Structures are given as structure tokens and as C-alpha cells.
Amino acid sequence: MEYSTLKFERDGEIATLTLNRPDKRNAISTPMVDDLVAALGAAEADKSVRVVILTGAGKAFCSGMDLETLQALAKQTPEQNLADSRRMAKMFQLVYSFPKPLITAVNGAAIAGGCGLATLSDFTLAVPAAKFGYTEVRIGFIPALVSVMLRRQVGEKHARDLLLSGRIIDAAEAFRLGLVTEVTPPDDLMKRAREVANMLLEASPTSLALTKRLLLRYDEERLRAELELATQENAQIRSTDDFREGLASFLEKRPPKWTGR
């Protein structure tokens, strides 16, 4: 299967998915969402693949939603916004609940939705220069979908700090908060990711799959309900004046003029 926004490579029992829009800092577009869902689905269905590594091409891991997609949001109907929100929710849930071990090798900036992709996996390795942040509130948006999983990862207080401030943190702080498993020198990032993958290959694939399923089933019903709530909120914020102003100010590179509506 061919993908327009990522590369799918397999080396024995390890599959590597590389976000491949380096000229756009691997920004999330609708085709990328579709490609990532399809590629993860293919890796799940392929019984010869036991571990997946997700990384980015170029200097950034993923800079969030791309400009063309952001511009399109302002023109969408409520029905289109809800459908788009469901598409994004499916992608994040698939990363979070992928049934095989998933390692993210963060080679650079991971911002907004890109931060979700970087941190929702089983293992997140990052270079020291990597940056992380949920910056949605700065452009009148809401980090609804990622908030569902982030609260489980770092706790309520840290989640409030990151989501309400929209601040950017470095790899060292992300490690301290529990978003990152390990900080790795740039030249060793993919080598270390493969070392972790090979360690996982030494374990029983049945045991790994059942352990992941057990961890997810503890909170399965509540997670599903919270994601549905977040999906609705993600779609509804797009009809507000602050969202339109935040989006316009971001695209026009000027300070926003908030109205609170």
C-alpha cells in the first residue's frame, strides 16, 4: 500500500512509520490522518509485524495541524466539523490503544496534535532538543481529544498546567512529567528505538497483546464516553468567535483580539 504523507518500512518483525512532510514540519493534514490510520491498521493486520516505531522525517516530529487544513476549518459546516473531529479522535485512539507495542522516536518539535501523536504511545524516546506543547488555547482552539489521555498519563494538576497555559516544554521537563520515557542523543535515537523494539521481541507476543488489552480494559467504557464528549467539544469550539479570531490572527501573524464569545 502506498501513502502520500508517510513512509512504511519493515525490517523483520519491526515496522517503522515515518511522517514524511519535512518541508511542512510534518504538519497534520487530512491525508496524513487517513494515511496514519491506514498504516497502523496494516501493521496491526500483518502478523509478521510485532513492534511499530513512529518517527518524523527532517528536523521536526510533527508541528500540529497544517495551515491549509486550518484555513479549511473556518469554512466547514457543523456537520463537517463533527466528522473531522471524529476522524481525529479515531487517529489518537488508535495510537493510544494500538494492540502491539508502539514506540515513538521524537526527533524534534511535537506541538499541539503532534504532541499527542508523540506521547500517546507505549514508549516515547526524545532527543534533548525536542519541544512539546499543547498550544491550542493560544489560537482559540481546545485540546479536547488529547486531554482525555493526557490526564491519565500525567495526572490532573500537570494536565491543567499544560493544557491551560499552552506553554512549550523541553524534553527534560517532558521526561520529568512522564510524557517521555527516555531522552536520547540525536545520533542514537533510531538505534535506541530499535534496541527497545528488540527487547520487546524477546517477550511473548501473546503476553504483550494481553497485557496491553488488560491495561486498556480497566478504563475502556469511561475512555469511550470521554472521547465522545471531547469529540463534541472539539467540533463545537469551531463555531465560536474566538476560534475564528484566533485562527485569523495565527494565519495573519498578529496578536489576537479576544471577545470571549
Determine contact, residues 63/243, Cβ cutoff 8 Å: no
Cβ atoms within 10 Å of 164's Cβ, excluding its own: 11
Q: For 247-261, write each residue's pLDDT tens digit.
A: 899 889 999 999 999
Q: What is the pLDDT of residues 90-127, one digit of tens each?
A: 999 999 999 999 999 999 999 999 999 999 999 999 99
Active site residue 136: yes
Single pTM value for the model:
0.95
Its CATH architecture, for the domain 1-186+201-261, is Alpha-Beta Complex (3.90)
How many other C-beta atoms are found inside a 10 Å radius of the C-beta of residue 99?
15
What percent of the chain stands above pLDDT 90? Answer: 92
Domain ranges within the chain, ordered by starting residue: 1-186+201-261
Strands (E), 72-186: 102-106, 110-111, 123-126, 131-133, 168-170, 182-183
Give the angle 5-232-111 at the CA atoms, nearest 5°.
40
Site of grid cell 512529567: 177
- Residue 26 has which C-alpha cell? 510534518
Rounded CA gap, 241 and 261, in Å?
A: 5
Active-site annotation holder among 9, 68, 79, 136: 136
